[in-house]
Amino acid sequence: MSFGLEASSIPLREESSLVFFFLFFFFFFFLVMESSDSQGKLNHMVETMEPNDVPAAEGATGQKDTSPVDMLRIKQQMSNQCFEMAVQLNAEKNKRSCSTSEAERDLPEYIGELERVKTLHFNSTLTLHRMQMWHAIGEKLNWSDSEADALKAISDRCMGLCSHIKHLQQESKKLQDEVTEIQKNRLEMKRLTHEKIKHMEESSKKEYPDMEKYKAALEKGQANLEKYKKMAIMTQNVLRGILLACKVNWLDDPKLRDIAMTLEEFPISE
């Protein structure tokens, strides 16, 4: 970050030097103009005070006629230089603003790279510490003392727990696979059920060309069935009345018993 500050301070110094140079030229131009005005006034006073000395006045006037042209030329050069300095100053400002915008645009990328390097360094340090710890534990296990025996017991217990955890994870994975398979079958059955229901609804809504004819035949058959059913009920009642009126023991006669048993199969009308 310090390099960026030093780099950004260079355009500021150039800008201050250009401003100082610009002000110095304006101040010099102002002094030259003031001196030219004062010299013109003196010449005018000399011309009014010495009217008889015509050659000398004409010579002085000839010299002073050339000086305004030079002054105008110097003024034009200074205006051109000031314009060039203004253009250069604006260019430096635009360059500095572009550099600032580019730095602001690239700042998230640099921050992300810095975070990545920090994370990599942390992970590497953590891995190194783990390796050092396991190396120290391995060296300690090679000893033959109470601490080494305790570490061996803890290590064996950890290995047993790890094996048990691995076995439980395998069983859990197996059960999860079974649950997933059952869910797939359930979804498949649900899909088939919806398809069957949809097919039944479409079949029920579908109109066949001979449906009206079959419906009329069915109504006619139901009417004939009701008619013959009433006739059978009436016949049954008549036969039952005859048997009761004759006071015949129909159980003794096999034919009458068959007829009576057959009559019992029909419902008795109210």
Q: State the pLDDT confidence band at 4, using cuts at 50, 70 and 90.
A: very low
Q: Which two tokens stand for residue 133?
A: 């710890």
Higher pLDDT, 179 or 205: 179
Picking from 33, 30, 42, the residue whose alpha carbon sits closest to that of residue 67 is: 33
Distance CA 260, CA 241 (A): 11
Per-residue DSSP letter, 1: -
Compute the residue count for the chain. Answer: 270
Q: Is the pLDDT of residue 2 over 80?
A: no
Percent of all residues in the chain with a pLDDT value above 70, rounded to a whole number: 68
Distance CA 262, CA 70 (A): 152
Which pLDDT score is estimated for 128? 92
253-257 contacts at long range (C-beta below 8 A, 24 or more positions apart): none
Token match 């004759």: residue?
246
* Predicted confidence (pLDDT) per residue in 55-106, tens digit: 344 444 444 455 777 777 787 788 788 888 888 777 776 665 556 777 788 8
* Predicted confidence (pLDDT) per residue in 200-231, tens digit: 888 877 766 777 778 888 898 999 999 888 88
Instruction: Look up the pTM and report it.
Output: 0.31
Rounded to whole angstroms, the maximal C-alpha distance in the chain is 192
Picking from 164, 137, 163, the residue whose alpha carbon sits closest to that of residue 152 is: 137
